[in-house]
A and B are shown apart, each in its own frame.
Chain A
């Protein structure tokens, strides 16, 4: 049970990082990137191939992330000056092409045999009580940061509502959100502590992912509130307005696209470390739409929403994995199809009825309405 929750925490963390990248591209800037998995592919394969040659893991991850930036530059340079639909189709094509390369260039990637036995972070780490204590302290620090962020977020929302709707009492729905978040965070935290005490490779990976997610979340959150982030949001709403203010729209879009790609590249490294064997099939176009579901569900342009979206997505994923096979009419292929069908439905229904997702702000994300 503990191990399963560790698995869920890792998966949620990886996809939260992955979707944070898409949130910068689509959520903040309004760039339709249907091939987000391309950045993940680049990040994963670069990290793994370099580390198999003996390059230290940290440098390998940075190299993977840099290559993802280069990919973003190439794709963005050819399409970001043009209409939004061109980016959508080119990114789909690029992500498929990268998967084909991973599949067919066997001298580099071993094709469909996949890559195995590559170095893993903390792979040979055998912690004593002191280092376990330090790790639990780090986890606790993350938990405190999360609680602080939660308090800030809820208070900020309370203040805005006070001004806008003239309410004095603390609204009930905010309270419920807070309690739910505390319960969820508590489960992850205590499960994490138990896992760290009975240390396994996955527990270490979980801690690493949580640390990375926290850092990236803080960076994206900070940048999103900065003048840079506000320009991005202005581009999403109506790019003529920031252009009239003298902003170089193309350059901002390119920056957002590359930055989102860099984050997805990091997510790719962790994805490979979680899988411990990577095949080209792990990087199907479908993975991009997992990120899309997370962003659209949680709330475009809202980083807390991304975390919520990732949690809901993986809850849905594991519930369907365990509950649906109990019905006789569904076999393995159909189970996958059914889950995909629900993703397609969610995307359609949300974009029609609630394009701002669960936590997004309707006043901000107008999408031209």
Chain B
């Protein structure tokens, strides 16, 4: 395994992480919700894509179906958990414990319904593509391209659309946004929709390059949070940068530490960051 190969792997993982991390940083920054269920929501996205795929849809349609399903699950949690808790102005600690309860609930529901074994999409096995002498698996390129597309789309939504501007306003100051006539509840729903789509795409692409399994998202929760903290909470571009940094650092550490301790690298980066610059590399909204 030479460095260039590891770099490509890091880019692929970073792309996936960046999508989930942006989903988390949006809900974290706008709704003040440190959602520990984010990783498991990604698993939900991967499984929903998988069942649509084995039911006969092609992979792109399955991803759309998975995204719709994930958004649905997120909106359900919004209606039954987060909105009532926001209304009584619950503290972050309460929200954190509820979200970890939700994480356990989602993961065990998946285990209960589909069992614990690895699943994979019904896809043709394609030859690796040769790029400047590097063998890159076809689906890795798909995963990287998908996430770049999603992030560019997000950039235009955040910068140019009414909703994006309103989202940034709500993230900055929710009360000020409300008195300037922004319909905060509508913005909250849109935040969930965007976060849900990004999370589901991430889950589906992670399933493409590894396998679909009940634990896939749970084991990513640390790198996801590390990316968000690294980039400054609430800062989408920061989260993307953080995700690529973490993804690449994890892969590049493999020759030094072995592949078992990737998680330790993410943890180390996060702890160093917390000690040196807890507000993150870029300006966050919290």
Spell out A's residues near B (CB within 8 Å).
30, 32, 34, 78-79, 81-86, 88-90, 92-94, 96-97, 100, 103-104, 289, 292, 296, 333-334, 336-338, 340-341, 343-348, 351-352, 355, 367-369
Contact = CB atoms under 8 A, between A and B. Distances in A.
Interface of B: 34, 36, 81, 84-85, 88-94, 96-98, 100-109, 111-112, 115-116, 219, 221-222, 225-226, 229, 258, 260-261, 263-264, 266-267, 270-271, 274-275, 278, 286
Contact of B96 (A32, A79, A97): A32
A92 B34 CA distance: 14
Nearest to A338: B112
A127 B112 CA distance: 48
Contacts of A84: 92-93, 96
A81 B98 CA distance: 23
Contacts of A85: 34, 92, 96
Given A82-B278, A333-B115, A333-B116, A89 B97 contact: no
A100 B263 contact: yes
A289 B104 contact: yes
B104 A343 contact: yes
Nearest to A285: B218
Contacts of B222: 89, 92-93, 96
A103 B260 contact: yes
A35 to B, nearest CB: 10
Contact of A89 (B103, B115, B225): B225
A333 B92 CA distance: 33
A79 B270 CA distance: 10
A334 B111 contact: yes
Given A34-B36, A340-B108, A345-B105, 18 more contacts: A78-B275, A79-B271, A88-B34, A89-B221, A89-B225, A89-B226, A333-B111, A338-B108, A340-B104, A341-B112, A344-B101, A344-B104, A344-B105, A344-B106, A348-B98, A352-B85, A367-B93, A368-B94
A367 B229 CA distance: 25
29 contacts: A34-B36, A78-B271, A79-B271, A82-B274, A86-B274, A88-B100, A89-B221, A90-B267, A90-B270, A90-B274, A92-B222, A96-B219, A96-B222, A97-B261, A97-B267, A333-B115, A333-B116, A334-B115, A337-B116, A340-B107, A344-B104, A347-B97, A348-B81, A348-B98, A348-B105, A351-B101, A367-B90, A368-B90, A369-B89
Contacts of B264: 97, 100
A347 B104 CA distance: 9
Chain A contact surface mostly: helix
B82 to A, nearest CB: 11
Nearest to B97: A351
B278 A86 contact: yes
A97 B262 CA distance: 9
Which 7 pairs of residues, A with B, have the shortest CB-CB distance?
A: A347-B101, A344-B104, A344-B105, A337-B111, A368-B91, A348-B101, A341-B108
B106 to A, nearest CB: 8
A51 to B, nearest CB: 27
Contacts of B100: 34, 88, 289, 292, 347
Nearest to A366: B91
Contacts of A338: 108, 112
Contacts of B106: 344
A32 B97 contact: yes
A242 B36 CA distance: 30
A369 B104 contact: no
Given A85-B34, A337-B108, A93 B90 contact: no
Nearest to A286: B104
Contacts of B226: 89
Contacts of B105: 341, 344-345, 348
